[in-house]
Structures are given as C-alpha cells and as structure tokens.
Amino acid sequence: MRVRRLAAWTALPLAVTLGLVACGSGGNGGSGESDPNAAVRIEIAEPQHLVPTNTNETSGSQVLSALFSPLVDYDEAHKPYEVAAESITSEDNTTWTVKLKDGYTFHNGEDVTADSYIDAWNYGAYAPNGQNSSYFFEKIAGFDDLQGETPKATTLSGLKKVDDHTFTVTLSQPYSEFKSILGYTAFYPLPKAAFSAPGVLAEGYEQAPIGQGPFKMKGTWQHDAKVEVERYDAFPGEQPKVAGVEFRIYQQLTAAYADVLSDNLDVIKTIPTENLSTAAVDLGDRFLQSPASSLHFLAFPTFQEEFSNPDVRKAISMAIDRDEITKSIFKDSQQPARSFVSPVVAGYRDNTVGAAGEFDPAKAKELYESAGGPSKITLSYNGDGGHKDWIDATCNQLKANLGVDCVGNAEPKFADLLTKVKAKQPVGLFRMGWIMDYPSMENYLGPLYSSNGSSNYYGYSNPEFDKLLAEGVSAPSEEEAIKKYQAAEDLLAQDMPVVPLRFGQNNFGHSTKVKNVEVDLFDRVDLVKIEVVK
C-alpha cells in the first residue's frame, strides 16, 4: 500500500505470466492507438487525509502519487533510484546529502528548493501537529525534541540547508538503507503556499494540495465523490500519457466492480472477494494480478506456557496445508508463504521456514505429541475482515492432522483483538497481517519480530535476533546489512514465533477503454504508464 511503484516483476512466476498476457493483448485495448487527451477514472475509497505527512492509507497515497514526485523510486530489483533528487549520498550512513534536480516547480509556479523539503518534514515530525506518518522521521537527529505536548524545539536539528537545491539529513544513528525510506509519501516536499505561518498548515491546503508531480489538482477534493487531477505541463520528469485522472470514491468495491464491467470506470484496484471466482470470466485478460507487500500470518502468544516450546509451534505450522487453503479459499488471489519477509524486498529467500513449512501431517502429529502441545487450540481473528473461511479451514486441518480440538474465535474488530492480546488474555493463536512502509527486510524484521517492535504483540524476544538486526541497520553497506538480516531471519526459523501463511497480491481489473495498467507494491496504479485506447 505504501511508497512507490515497482514496474515489471520477476519474483512470482504466476504474476509475470498473467502480466505479460495482459500487456500482449489487453482486451480490445492492446493494439489500438492511445489518446493523450482523454482522462482515466480510477477507483479509490474516501482518503482520510491529503497532506503527505498525514497520509498513510492507500487511497490518499494514490492521489498524492499523482500530485507529487518522490525523491526516489524503486527499480525491478527493489533498489531505490533517484527521481526528484539528483543524488542522495553518504560517507558514513549517518549524514546524508540530498541534492535536488533543477527544473522542478510546484503547480503554483514556486521553485522546489531545499526549504520545501525541510519545512514539510519539520511540520510532519512536530508532535502537536498530530501527523499520522510522523514516525517516519524518528531516525532523524532531534526527533525526540519535537515530541510531547510542549516540545522543546519546532525544527529537526538533523535537517540543514546547504544551498537552494542541497540539504543534509543527519540521523541519530547510522542507517544504511535511509535512501529506501525516502520513497514514501511522507517525504514529499510542500510549497510555501501550504503554510499560513512558519509551521502552520494553511487552512484549505488539504482540499486542493499543491505538489510538484506530473498532475495538478483540477478543482478541489469533492468529499465522498471524487478528486480530479490534470496533467501539469511544466513537469520536468516523464510526462503521463493521459490528460488527467478522475479518482472516483467508492464505499463498496462491488459497486466499483459493476462499473468496470459496464465501462463506467476504468480501473478497480482490488477485485472484491465475492467476485474473485468469476473475475477471470467477467473480465478475461483484463483481470490482472501483481505482487503486493502484505504478509499474513498466525501469531503465537509466546508468553503463554503451552505455546512456549518452539516444537509445538513448528508442529502446528507443519499441520497446515497452505497450498490447499490459498487455492480453495482464496482462489489463488494470494500466494502461500514460507518465509518471514515478503518476496518484494531485496534479500528475500524462498522457504526460509524450512521443514516446518512443509505440509506433513504424520510428522506434525508426532512432533506435536512429543513436545506436549495443548489439546485445545483457539484461533482468534477479527470478524469484520472476511477471515472466517480460512480460519475455519485451518482449524479443520489442525483437528484432522493433530487430533486436537480447535475453535475459531471472532472478535468484532481488529482493535478488540489487539486490546485482548495486549492485555495478554488467552486468545490462543491470532491472525495478523503486515504491509510494508518501504521495501527493506528491516521493515518486516524490526516491527514484527524485534523485542520492542511496534507490531510484536506476541511477546517474542530473542536478544541475538535483536543484536543481528541492530548490526544490519548500522552496517556500512546494503549488502552487508542484508547478510545480517538473513542471519536474523534464520533465527526466526528456529524459534517460529509466527506461522507465515500467505503473501498478498494485488488483484485488479480494468475496463476496455484503457491499457498498460499496472498496480505497484503499494496498491497504487502507475499513472505515468496508463493509456487510454482511442
């Protein structure tokens, strides 16, 4: 859902085949001329916010990706390359020098300068502004001084302007992959016009954000209805092949799906679950799949006595037939997972879970009994997310393969589940999902498995893992960092704090009126590539 696009794709053979088929023919669309004066209509939900540092959901970041151009984007190997930046360099991985490309202007004519970035980031990091993505700036020196109700400072001490188009970012500790983070929505610049006073966002800016990207706003954000943008001709980067985009707001995906079927809408980014089984027939080769960054897993409450033995956890993993569930329940809309990080990050290796990832009921039962696993297992999930089917299927497999009693326990909402888990109530195993913020192994390993990870609700703590992760973060080069991360991931395979189940995919479709539709790792349509068929 977050950060920028990854165009072509290599890791998942299925997705590649489907993608190529689509590029080759694409309904009536593949061969026709494209019309640069037409606009495309893309489905989104009502964005929560349209200020870069306050936007951390898909719909908002889709709109902002039209209005802004990021410092870096990601190539096919998931490595960042410069877009709005001329160069991003560091000698010691602590002080980073960002040099901006000349020629970028905001849609109101203002030059994009070092101050545009510094002001925007300071605004985002300042706690009283309550920005959703402020945690992205926590690696920058001086972040702590901007926290609390009455912060000590209003600006990050780590941000220094060198000249109009150069600034330096000093981190509080070395971080080799800082460049990767910079592709995220939170790091877009803001024009002077966005502020009514230093550090105060102008009222109404959010209703018609001014950016420096390939599109500019056409009118204002029409809540619950649409956001319209049109091509910005002074954009110095690659010009889009459409005249504009109408982001049409839908509450229900099924409504958007009906519109795509009747050519009233051009792109639906997520095919609704109930239509997945018929989408291939309804849309033919206009039904497409591409990899996404999400990782779905079952977490063990490792703080509970009965799940504290890694062998019990491995046995449960072995007793689950991932391939069968992804096929019969998810209709191949997701991929079975046997690693602790998603295939969309550099350093991913297939099957790091090892033997515990292989479906082997006999061995699972033997191991489970010798390790003294509990005779009753509960799988908890949030009832509002459509998880019941696969939870029940998993339960049935555990019942059949381990000879245990298994029940699914639905909590009304994810928040309710988290409340119980945080209070260490015995909810049994519980489902979790993770979507990355930036393509790095660290973005999975840190929040999910480190002792003080923001999403480590299962109490997993391995000092050696923490040490390897910290070494990776401050490693002198990315290659060395990845080596450390991989060593850390190997520890996870021994401990099995969670059972990785599935990797997400974007399942999207388009009308007969457009071609070259690509959806990136962050669930955003590539607005530079998409074309309208004449």
Partner 1 sequence: MFRFIVRRLLQMVVAFFGTTLIVYALMFAGQGDPIQALAGERPVTAAQRAYLTEKYHLDATGFGGFFYRYFDYLSNLLRGDLGESLTGRPIGEILANAWPVTIKLALIAIAVAVIFGVTAGVLAGIRRGSIFDNSTLLLTLLVLGIPTIVLAPLAQYLLGVKWQLFPATSGADPSFYALLLPGIVLGSLSLATALRLTRTSVAENLRADYVRTARSKGLPRRRVVTVHVLRNSLIPVITFLGVELGNLMSGAIITEGVFNIPGVGFNLFRAIRTEDGPLVVGIVSVLVVVYLVSNLVVDVLYAVLDPRIRYE
Q: Which is nearer to partner 1, 262 or 281 (CB)?
A: 262
Radius of gyration, alpha carbons of the chain: 24
Compute φ and ψ for 110, nearest 5 degrees.
Answer: -65, 140
Q: Which is nearer to partner 1, 77 or 423 (CB)?
A: 423
Distances (CA, A) of 416 to 36, 191, 288, 436, 449: 49, 40, 34, 23, 22
Q: Which is nearer to partner 1, 113 or 440 (CB)?
A: 440
Tell me the closest approach of the beta carbon of residue 132 to partner 1, in angstroms.
6
Entry field: residues in the chain: 534
Q: Which is nearer to partner 1, 104 or 247 (CB)?
A: 247
Q: In what order do the strands lie in the sheet with 166-170?
A: 85-90, 95-100, 166-170, 159-163
Tell me the closest approach of the beta carbon of residue 83 to partner 1, in angstroms.
26
Tell me the closest approach of the beta carbon of residue 133 to partner 1, in angstroms.
9
Tell me the closest approach of the beta carbon of residue 231 to partner 1, in angstroms.
23
Task: Give the dihedral of Cα atoms 334, 336, 340, 346; nearest 10 deg.
Answer: -70
Tell me the closest approach of the beta carbon of residue 47 to partner 1, in angstroms.
9
Compute φ and ψ for 299, nearest 5 degrees.
Answer: -100, 145
Q: Among 456, 404, 403, which Cα is nearest to 430's?
A: 456
Per-residue b or e along 485-508, where b marks 16 or more CB atoms closer than 10 Å to that residue's CB: bbebbebbbebbbbbbbbbbbbbb
Q: Which is nearer to partner 1, 298 or 404 (CB)?
A: 298
- Backbone dihedral region of 205: left (phi > 0), alpha (psi from -120 to 50 degrees) or beta? alpha
Residue 246: what residue type?
E
Q: Which is nearer to partner 1, 45 or 404 (CB)?
A: 45
Task: Give the dihedral of Cα atoms 393, 394, 397, 403; nearest 10 deg.
Answer: -120
Tell me the closest approach of the beta carbon of residue 321 to partner 1, in angstroms.
25
Q: Which is nearer to partner 1, 100 or 249 (CB)?
A: 249
* 267-268 vs 244-249, strand pairing mode: unpaired
Tell me the closest approach of the beta carbon of residue 127 to partner 1, in angstroms.
5
Query: Which residues contact partner 1 (rule: CB under 8 A)?
Result: 46, 48-49, 56-57, 127-128, 130-132, 134-135, 147, 149, 222-226, 248-252, 254-256, 258-259, 261-262, 264, 384, 412-416, 418-419, 432-433, 435, 447, 454-455
Tell me the closest approach of the beta carbon of residue 414 to partner 1, in angstroms.
5
E strands, 182-225, are 195-197, 200-201, 215-217
Tokens read off for 435: 């979507």
Tell me the closest approach of the beta carbon of residue 88 to partner 1, in angstroms.
25
257 contacts: CB under 8 Å, gap ≥ 6: 268, 271, 272, 275, 509
Q: Which is nearer to partner 1, 323 or 384 (CB)?
A: 384
Q: Among 528, 520, 493, which Cα is nearest to 504's?
A: 520
Residue 213: what residue type?
G
Q: Which is nearer to partner 1, 368 or 434 (CB)?
A: 434
Q: Which is nearer to partner 1, 92 or 224 (CB)?
A: 224
Tell me the closest approach of the beta carbon of residue 138 to partner 1, in angstroms.
9
